[in-house]
Structure 1
Amino acid sequence: MYSQTSKRLITITSKVLDRNLLRNHDVLTLKVKCSFSQNGQRISFHSTRQKHRAKNSNNGNNNNNGNVYSISNVNQRNSCFSTFGSFRKFSSSTEDAFRRFRSFANGEQFTKRFVDSSLQYTVSVAFSPKDRLKNNMSDDDGAFDDGEFVQNFKALNAKNVYESPTGEDNYILAYTEIGIIIGVLDGVGGWSEQGFDSSAISRELANKVTIFYLENPSLPPQEILQKSFEAVKEEGKVKVGSTTICFGIIDGKTGKLSALNLGDSWFGIFRKNENSRYKCTYQSVEQVYYFNAPYQLSIIPDDFLELAKKRGSKYLMNEPDESADYSYELKSGDIIVFTTDGMVDNVFPDDIEIYLNDNANEGVKLSENLGSLNKILVQQTTVLSLNTNFKSAFSQKLSSLTGQDYIGGKPDDITSVMVYVK
């Protein structure tokens, strides 16, 4: 247990973090005020890898055996889950398919079975954007100070990130008759803080990756990323921005997953062991220059680059061929999660194991309820990210790096694409 004098509460909103900040620990002692209740219940999380519990805020009694993640129970409490399990049929038209695949609702899912394959795939997307307007407001005297005025001026210039349903994050999911593509992107928030739309590059790159895959699904991930990034730069919609990306393609005939990762988004494959318990058997590794400074695909104007050069500094800029490649043979029963760092900066893969073992057990029809399983995971991770008393993965890494005691969740956009193989 941390003492009161050593406890430090952290909230980092940007991936553009100078190494010198790690030497000035006072910079990281920002307190987040937030609500910890949902549906009349107070949420708690045990980082000692115990089960996730919810206690009634009125009487302290556990409901539903204390398991807030029960899919059937949540469906009964919350009507927003009533659409889960619905399936879409997509036109053979690439344009129509593109529009539909790029407009999925939070928690929506589809199921696809391929000819000459014994496997069936259910895919869902869930997301939770960070409350940026709330984070920029003062709650001490109700008045704006100079810093808040600047923040709100920047908000006007970068308003798209406030309106985006996924914040600076974005997702990739689509299928053709030979395979499925799934993945996530995370726009670097530092650009939004300078008055630019930091959601633009992740959105436009997700668009291009989707359309290139639909038009030529036989291309490998590296080639799709290369072509897509070049197309975004040539199109010119994105004036400035940076993004990480992590996506994979499942071969519909063989069940082989070919994936890549550039930056600190993440994917993991969860498979049942001999005890019928989900374990993360395969996962990506983050690519970073240093703590909280991931590899990123960047579009930066020449005048920005010149000014940085004169100052003796430079921007973080990577190329698609610097991404790491992965390959894995999927089998029936596997659950695959592609997610942005908003999730894995707060919980560890073994926390996700616990969640899946508690909720993706026998009796739960994942082909019908994957959307709710995914959405609740994102929702509860969001609650943890706002909990100043939670020992998050981010705070533990920072403690290890600095030798100081840090504690607290890391508020961020969270996007998750989940796949169930049957």
Structure 2
Amino acid sequence: MPLRIPPSYSTSCNDTNFTYRIAAASAPKGVSPRPPKPGRDYWNYTSTHENPSPPYLRSTKQDSGEDAFFATTVGGSQSHVAFGVADGVGGWQDQGVDPSEFSQALCGLMAGSANIQEGIEENPCKPQPLLQQAYDAVMNNPRIAAGGCTASLGVMDRRGSIETANLGDSGYLVFGPGKVVHRSESQTHAFNTPYQMSKVPAKLQAQYKIFGSTYFSETPADADVSTHQLKHGDIVVFATDGVWDNLSAQDTLQIVSRIMEEGGFWFKSHNFDGAETMINDTLITQLPRTIEDKIQESYLPGQLAAAVMREAKLAGLDRRREGPFAKEVKQHYPGEGWEGGKPDDIAVVVCIAVEEAASDEKPIKAKL
């Protein structure tokens, strides 16, 4: 049995350095729930001080349908990262607009903008301004005639602080060993009507006005912004509503816990009053620093992202499984007769925070 390690650390905020291990997974709703394969359904992306990461990772329509994701280092720093998801509003199909164009462009622009940012210590990257910059670029791009999306993103710095910006019903969870540390709140006007950024052509605006209709068009200024301090080994999961409509926070925790416990990263300690889930500090610190250190299938963030994606996919296709969306339908429209999950596009980004000593880059040691 692994040695019990109390949840405290031997280093202070001033002499520690966090790096991050990231992976993404996605699936368009038309794809069958086959076993996910690396490079086809999920993508590993490392961010460490030892091996420079690729400039950034982003999805394509073929990979994720109307949803999108990105992950990148900020200004090339291996200990500052930005990542997030966006969900194209499917209703634009009725207007002959491809909903993926807005979400994919937004994520691509955020990835590129964060990666080239300079002066991250003097002028740190913030998620809401990053979202605003990408939003402005999409709105001013004549090749994107119309569309809209929700968005949820975060920026992590070398001290383990994550600032998030969440607009709409995409969102994120922060996990510690065996527990949900934080859950973002959805922004909605009404049931199944999330806050959304929109680009509405003048002609369509006139039509809305004539018929007395309304359209929702929030801006990044309407996003909920919050900050969290991560601990060594904490796991952050960002995902679109293709996940959250089908998996609750506890459902997702069970998926994450199974992988973490089977791999020995989390374990049960009975040295307290009752059982408590603890972190295996040694294994977390020794997470592979490059994808080449292990075959892609065994890269821990990739396993987590693929498992969440696959379970959400299966739940969405299960006619007998009552997920969060089905429960809401029954609450708001009891006569609707909705059964089972909600098939949808899915995008997931998973990040594991790893705390290391900044002075000599050696793994930290927990107090015994």
The two structures have a TM-score, normalised by structure 1, of 0.62
For 2:253, what is the secondary structure of its paired residue?
Answer: helix
Higher strand share: 2
Structure 2 residue ranges without an equivalent (≥5): 1-13, 33-58, 266-282, 288-298, 355-368
Instruction: Provide the rounded CA distance (Å) in 1 between the counterparts of 2:249 and 2:353.
Output: 19
- Given the alignment of the two structures, is residue 317 of structure 1 paired with residue 249 of structure 2, yes or no? no
TM-fit CA distance, 1:162 = 10
TM-fit CA distance, 1:195 = 2.3
Structure-2 residue corresponding to 1:18: none
Give the 5 Å matches for 1:257-406. Answer: 257-272=162-177, 278-361=178-261, 362-363=263-264, 367=287, 368-404=299-335, 406=338
The ranges of structure 1 where at least 4 consecutive aligned residues each deviate by more than 6 angstroms after the TM superposition are none
Q: Deviations over 1:97-147 (max 9, x none)?
A: xxxxxxxxxxxxxxxxxx9644331100000111189xxxxxxxxxxxxxx
Instruction: Provide the rounded CA distance (Å) in 2 between the counterparts of 1:339 and 1:408.
Output: 20
For 2:318, what is the secondary structure of its paired residue?
Answer: coil
- Given the alignment of the two structures, is residue 417 of structure 1 paired with residue 317 of structure 2, yes or no? no
- Given the alignment of the two structures, is residue 119 of structure 1 paired with residue 119 of structure 2, yes or no? no
Q: Is the Cα contact below 8 Å between 1:164 and 1:199 reproduced in 2?
A: no
- Given the alignment of the two structures, is residue 408 of structure 1 paired with residue 340 of structure 2, yes or no? yes
For 2:254, what is the secondary structure of its paired residue?
Answer: helix
Structure-2 residue corresponding to 1:69: none
For 1:119, what is the secondary structure of its paired residue?
Answer: strand
> Once structures 1 and 2 are overlaid, which stretch shifts more, 313-322 or 405-414?
405-414
Instruction: Provide the rounded CA distance (Å) in 1 between the counterparts of 2:126 and 2:60.
Output: 34
For 1:181, what is the secondary structure of its paired residue?
Answer: strand
Q: Is the Cα contact below 8 Å between 1:284 and 1:326 reproduced in 2?
A: no
Q: Deviations over 1:321-380 (max 9, x none)?
A: 000001000011211000000001001000111112211125256733220221122112
Structure-1 residue corresponding to 2:72: 174
Instruction: Provide the rounded CA distance (Å) in 1 between the counterparts of 2:205 and 2:70.
Output: 30
For 1:164, what is the secondary structure of its paired residue?
Answer: helix
- Given the alignment of the two structures, is residue 214 of structure 1 paired with residue 145 of structure 2, yes or no? no
Give the residue type in structure 1 aligned to 2:224. Answer: A
Structure 1 residue ranges without an equivalent (≥5): 1-114, 134-160, 273-277
For 1:326, what is the secondary structure of its paired residue?
Answer: strand
Q: Is the Cα contact below 8 Å between 1:342 and 1:410 reproduced in 2?
A: yes
- Given the alignment of the two structures, is residue 130 of structure 1 paired with residue 29 of structure 2, yes or no? yes
Q: Deviations over 1:390-413 (max 9, x none)?
A: 111100011112234642100000
TM-fit CA distance, 1:182 = 1.2
Q: Is the Cα contact below 8 Å between 1:396 and 1:407 reproduced in 2?
A: no
Task: Give me the CA root mean square deviation.
Answer: 2.1
For 1:412, what is the secondary structure of its paired residue?
Answer: coil
For 1:398, what is the secondary structure of its paired residue?
Answer: helix
- Given the alignment of the two structures, is residue 223 of structure 1 paired with residue 129 of structure 2, yes or no? yes
Give the residue type in structure 2 aligned to 1:319. Answer: T
CA 247–309 in structure 1, closer or farther in 2 if over 3 Å, else same: same
Instruction: Provide the rounded CA distance (Å) in 1 between the counterparts of 2:345 and 2:198.
Output: 19
Q: Is the Cα contact below 8 Å between 1:246 and 1:262 reproduced in 2?
A: yes
Instruction: Provide the rounded CA distance (Å) in 2 between the counterparts of 1:132 and 1:243.
Output: 21
Instruction: Provide the rounded CA distance (Å) in 2 between the counterparts of 1:163 and 1:321.
Output: 27
For 1:360, what is the secondary structure of its paired residue?
Answer: helix
Give the 5 Å matches for 1:12-23. Answer: none
The two structures have a TM-score, normalised by structure 2, of 0.71
Give the residue type in structure 1 aligned to 2:168. Answer: G
Structure-2 residue corresponding to 1:112: none
Instruction: Provide the rounded CA distance (Å) in 2 between the counterparts of 1:235 and 1:203.
Output: 13
